A and B are shown apart, each in its own frame.
Chain A
Amino acid sequence: AQTVTQSQPEMSVQEAETVTLSCTYDTSESNYYLFWYKQPPSRQMILVIRQEAYKQQNATENRFSVNFQKAAKSFSLKISDSQLGDTAMYFCAFIYSGGSNYKLTFGKGTLLTVNP
């Protein structure tokens, strides 16, 4: 079974600075997807970024980028130019891409606070 570990329960950053959230995972599979989801105080879950394991290039979405290290099974999220609206719980998630797979595995989350 896959496991996803987020070792930082809480983090804080000053507005306009850069912050990196860590995520490691454990799997014996070679083909999979990794994701970061954001949950602001409104509780609405939002997909931030997606990485396919077979792609060496790190995914980027505006101010959000990832550092995907497949051999180390590491998948960190970098938020540049942090904004107050980035304050949220962030979840790392994994899914195996082979066959019919319907189970997305989430980490326990990192609460990020952006301070003015």
Chain B
Amino acid sequence: NAGVTQTPKFQVLKTGQSMTLQCAQDMNHEYMSWYRQDPGMGLRLIHYSVGAGITDQGEVPNGYNVSRSTTEDFPLRLLSAAPSQTSVYFCASSYSNLAGVTAGELFFGEGSRLTVL
């Protein structure tokens, strides 16, 4: 059972380069999200999606784009990388409304460490 799969696990970029962090889940979850984790800052929500074709902004969306063409995939795009985007990125999914029966039970990927020089 794969769960939530993120690729790549590590990436080094130069300022101004673009890249896409991939996230795929095989649990038929409607809800998917991207967080970034920085030392002393906890996890902050970047973007989230409640189903195919539906996305919305989280707490720190600037500099990132997302799309949700299928239930399984939720890629995160950095259009022009900046050193401030150096971070560990987590993709997480859940069944539906996070306050429903399975409240709060986010299933996380293993994270992607991104360094922007």
Contacts and interface: CB of A to CB of B under 8 A. Distances in A.
Interface bin, chain B: 20 to 34
Interface stretch (B12-20, B63-71, B72-80, B90-98): B90-98
B43 A103 contact: no
B108 A98 contact: no
B99 A98 contact: yes
B48 A103 contact: yes
B103 A9 contact: no
B104 A50 contact: yes
B99 A95 contact: yes
Given A102-B97, A103-B48, A103-B58, A108 B42 contact: yes
Given A91-B42, A91-B43, A100 B104 contact: no
A89 to B, nearest CB: 9
A78 to B, nearest CB: 19
B98 A52 contact: no
Contact of A47 (B90, B97, B106): B106
A21 to B, nearest CB: 14
Contacts of A101: 97-99
Contacts, number: 66
Given A44-B110, A45-B90, A52 B42 contact: no
Given A95-B104, A106-B44, 10 more contacts: A44-B108, A45-B90, A47-B104, A102-B33, A102-B50, A102-B98, A103-B58, A104-B98, A108-B41, A109-B42
Interface of B: 31, 33, 35, 40-45, 48, 50, 56, 58-59, 88, 90, 92, 97-99, 103-106, 108, 110-111
29 contacts: A4-B42, A33-B99, A35-B104, A42-B110, A43-B88, A43-B110, A43-B111, A44-B110, A47-B104, A47-B105, A50-B103, A93-B104, A95-B104, A96-B99, A97-B99, A101-B97, A101-B99, A102-B31, A102-B50, A102-B98, A103-B48, A103-B58, A103-B59, A104-B104, A104-B106, A106-B35, A106-B42, A106-B44, A108-B41
